[in-house]
Amino acid sequence: PGSRGWVATRGRGVAVGRFAHSGGGGQTCPTPEPGPDPTVALLWSSVLGIPADKAEELVLRAPGLATLPEATVVRRLENLGEALSSFARGGDRALPPRPASLVRRCPWLLQLRPEGIHDRFEALQRLLPSTDIVHLVTRQPSLLALNSSTNLEVSLDALVLLLFGPAEDGSSSAQRGSTARRETERLVSRFPSLLAGDPSLVEGKVSAVADLLNVSTSSAARLLLTRAPGVLTLSVEHNILPTAKAIQELLPAVDIQKLLQRAPSLLGYSPATLRLKLDALKAALPGADVSKLVASSPALLTFNIKANVLPKLRSLQQLLAEIPASTTDDKKAMAVRRSAAATLLASRGGRSLANTGRGKRQPSMHTSIIQSAISVRAAERQLEGGLAPLMPRADVIRIVEALPSLLQRNVSRNLRPKVAALRDFLGNDTMTQELIRESPRVLLSSMGVLARIGFLRKSLATSNPEWEKLLPACRTAVKSGKQKFFDANPGYADYLTGLLLGEDSGAAEPGNGAVPSADLEDVVSKVLEARHAHRAGDHAG
């Protein structure tokens, strides 16, 4: 036999040379069934460390590689490994990948001669000097199979042009300012496939998204390149447009343009995946208006519902359930509930609740605890049942519906310390539950802002024993600007100083405070975060 290797034709294969089925006289024999010669598959399976069936698929993808002698294949794998090692960055980085793993994904790498492999690594390093080239090639091996002097430079120019617009002096990407180069290089390091694709396709995708969102091309480019660059690797016809249509059908009440402007990465999900996510979200939050939730917090659809949302719901319910029943005596607790119910019913939200049967708007979230009550006694019974040690799951769902971003918080690290701080500042667990129900946004306030609640409790306890005024005052306080609250409460600075020193500052008397410090509340916030984080650690232990 003269030649060695494998020649593949559509639908059947012919093995020649050392891999041939000998038919006598050195003549080649057609393989009776489609696919590569089994001997060829076994060779590639052994060299690349893959199953024989995967080796057959690889040879069919790149039939010309089967003509390479075994020694050449082994030598080029070694050359690729040497290049990966020489361009790997030092320090604590992981060892470079095995060359065979890159060839399995891009078999055409074996057609590169040793000098060609090294030259392309150098070209990539010159083009992207701040990028870990080995990491880049590991994620997108096909970059090494491109002509570095044309494709890579043209693709980079196109990306810089889309992101920053044309240069005033017509300079290329290599001559652009450091900011443009740095941001584009960071983008490519995250999505190296952008360099491996056709630059003209990127511009077409940006235009399609601009039309979809009704924004300018430059705005769409900036939005995608900075917040959802992965969308630029997708097909307009097969991915982007079908997904946008599915979102409109699944969430007809949501403004798709506003939704995608806030979460453009949703275009990267398939219609089937979005449908499954919405179904899982509805199952996790029964009774909640999922369309409203998604419109308020589009990031929910990017979560793994089973792995993220459901565990956080359980953690949140468990956290709120840990607030025990009221520590006040029965008579005071009854007075608190009756006063709170009367106050809520007298509010605008309570009146809107009573008018829902006459076509009025739905009640606001802070009246959800008295859903159907229209009298003080009915509201009192509703409140009394809602203040049980275990907060009902329905209440937790309503809290999440009012503030979906709670599901984006770490319950143990972020929310548990704030609930503990609220209980300390209010000194009354009944009030704590009521405040969280009526104003869940308080859980997103900093520790320093929550300190205002402790200050108000001491002030009202001294000047006015009517506790029903405390909750409205707390809601107003957490929304107030820092300097405005300092100016309105001269004793607040002294109260914060007492918290820093770990002392009981007693009742805060107006007029006896020091000059407010712009940084005092921020310092208190950090100190309290450290204290409550330590307590949370003890709780976990």
| Per-residue model confidence (pLDDT) at position 269 | 93
Residue type (1 letter), 236: V
Which amino acid makes up residue 327?
Answer: T
Measure the CA–CA gap between 467 and 524, rounded to whole angstroms: 26
Query: What percent of the chain has pLDDT above 90?
Result: 11
**Residue 305's pLDDT is what?**
85
Note the pTM of the prediction, 2 decimals: 0.56
Would you state the pLDDT for residue 490?
Answer: 85
What is the pLDDT at residue 251?
93
Torsion sign (Cα): 185, 190, 191, 192: positive
The residue type at 399: I
Are 235 and 200 within 8 A, CB to CB? no
pLDDT value at position 491? 86
Would you state the pLDDT for residue 510?
Answer: 43
Q: How far apart are CA 41 and CA 230, in angstroms?
A: 35
**447-463 helix and 416-426 helix, angle to the nearest 10 degrees:** 20
| Tokens representing residue 65 in the block | 């590689």
Report yes or no: 115 and 81 within 8 Å, Cβ to Cβ. Answer: no
- Rounded to the nearest 5 percent, the helix, strand and coil shares of the chain are 70, 0, 25
**Do residues 323 and 431 touch, judged by C-beta distance below 8 A?**
no
What is the rounded CA–CA span in Å between residue 417 and residue 247?
37
DSSP structure class, residue 16: E
d(C-alpha 28, C-alpha 476), whole Å: 89
The answer for residues whose C-beta is within 8 angstroms of residue 90's C-beta and 6 or more apart is none
Per-residue model confidence (pLDDT) at position 236: 92
Q: Helix (H, G, I), strand (E, B), or coil: what is residue 8?
A: strand
The span from the CA of 341 to the CA of 187, in Å, is 55
Q: List the chain residues with pLDDT less than 50.
A: 1-33, 91-92, 325-390, 465, 505-516, 541
Rounded distance between C-alpha atoms, residue 38 and residue 529, angstroms: 66
Decide the pairing of beta strands 5-9 and 12-16.
antiparallel
* Rounded distance between C-alpha atoms, residue 471 and residue 245, angstroms: 45
Q: Which domains does the chain have, with CATH numbers?
A: 5-67 (no CATH), 72-197 (1.25.70.10), 205-302 (no CATH), 409-541 (no CATH)
Q: At what angle do helices 416-426 and 310-321 cross, to 10 degrees?
A: 20
**What is the SS3 assignment for 92?**
coil
